[in-house]
């Protein structure tokens, strides 16, 4: 009878011991919070303020024991969303991974329109000012260097205070329809120049049809600089 009681007691205690060793929701939440704290400190050194909060986890969650520190990383770009997802994983003997929602707000100086800007208007430095903005509130990216804005053209009109993002801008045309251009036919280090006329507007890096004024032939060329195009020989 004593043997039977001992066996029953031992068997019923095993699940308790295993569950106690499992990775708990609190451990996962703690690892995620530590990761976000470190991210916040790194961004503070760059002049950004980060406010964060981890998502909710079922307190009954229990994953396999991890005999190594938990790895936490962003599964996407935290600079393009205020609701990034964290990947928490174990690289121990019994590897696993899971995903945890988080709320991350990154505030810092951003470049905004100092006044209303019209479509097609060429951007100048005095049209731009800095303001405190949540820089990851847009998925379109943020421009932090005013030199990247000066000389660009507005794709659409915006109001004063609008955050400047890459989708609002386009490079001005390096050649316009009817412009006379220099056509360079290149093969290795050898090149021949001729005069031509652009058949459409195009920016640097774009292809455009040009008419060779000597031969009256129309060719497709690559715009390499204002007033200059290139074709392979």
List Cα–Cα distances, 56 to 21, 29, 63, 103, in angstroms. 22, 8, 16, 11
Lowest mean pLDDT among 8-22, 48-62, 81-95: 8-22
Predicted confidence at residue 1, as pLDDT, reads 40
The pTM score is 0.61
Most confident by average pLDDT, 11-25, 52-66, 99-113: 99-113
For residues 114 and 94, is the Cβ–Cβ distance under 8 A?
no
Q: Could you tell me which CATH class the domain 107-170 is placed in?
A: alpha beta
- Do 180-232 and 107-170 fall under one CATH topology? no
Predicted confidence at residue 93, as pLDDT, reads 85
**Tokens at 227, concatenated:** 């007033």
Q: Is the pLDDT assigned to residue 197 strictly greater than 90?
A: yes
Q: Where are the domains of the chain?
A: 2-106, 107-170, 180-232
The CATH classification of domain 180-232, taken from the options 2.30.30.760, 3.40.50.300, 3.40.225.10, 1.10.10.10: 2.30.30.760
Most confident by average pLDDT, 35-49, 163-177, 186-200: 35-49
Structure confidence at residue 21 as a pLDDT band (50, 70, 90): low
Predicted confidence at residue 5, as pLDDT, reads 36
For residues 102 and 52, is the Cβ–Cβ distance under 8 A?
yes
Predicted confidence at residue 7, as pLDDT, reads 33
pLDDT, tens digit, 9 for 90 and up, residues 136-159:
988 887 787 899 899 899 999 999
Percent of the chain with pLDDT over 70: 91
Q: Is the pLDDT assigned to residue 6 strictly greater than 70?
A: no
Q: Is the pLDDT assigned to residue 20 strictly greater than 60?
A: no
């Amino acid at each position: 009878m004593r043997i039977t009681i001992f066996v029953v007691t031992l068997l019923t205690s095993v699940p308790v011991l295993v569950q106690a060793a499992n990775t708990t929701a609190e451990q996962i939440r703690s690892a995620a919070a530590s990761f976000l704290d470190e991210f916040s400190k790194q961004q503070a050194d760059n002049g950004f303020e980060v406010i964060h909060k981890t998502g909710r986890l079922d307190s009954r969650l229990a994953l396999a024991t991890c005999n190594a520190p938990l790895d936490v990383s962003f599964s996407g770009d935290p600079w393009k969303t205020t609701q990034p997802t964290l990947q928490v994983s174990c690289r121990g003997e019994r590897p696993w991974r899971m995903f945890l929602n988080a709320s991350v707000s990154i505030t810092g100086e951003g470049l905004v329109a100092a006044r209303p800007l019209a479509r097609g208007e060429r951007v100048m430095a005095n049209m731009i000012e800095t303001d405190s903005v949540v820089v990851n509130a847009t998925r379109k990216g943020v421009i932090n260097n005013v030199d990247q804005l000066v000389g660009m053209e507005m794709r659409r009109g915006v109001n004063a205070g609008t955050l400047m993002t890459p989708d609002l801008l386009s490079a001005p045309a390096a050649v316009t329809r009817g412009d006379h251009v220099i056509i360079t036919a290149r093969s290795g280090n050898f090149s021949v120049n001729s005069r031509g006329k652009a058949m459409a507007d195009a920016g640097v890096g774009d292809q455009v049809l040009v008419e060779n004024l000597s031969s009256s032939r129309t060719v497709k060329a690559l715009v390499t600089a204002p007033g200059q195009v290139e074709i392979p020989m």
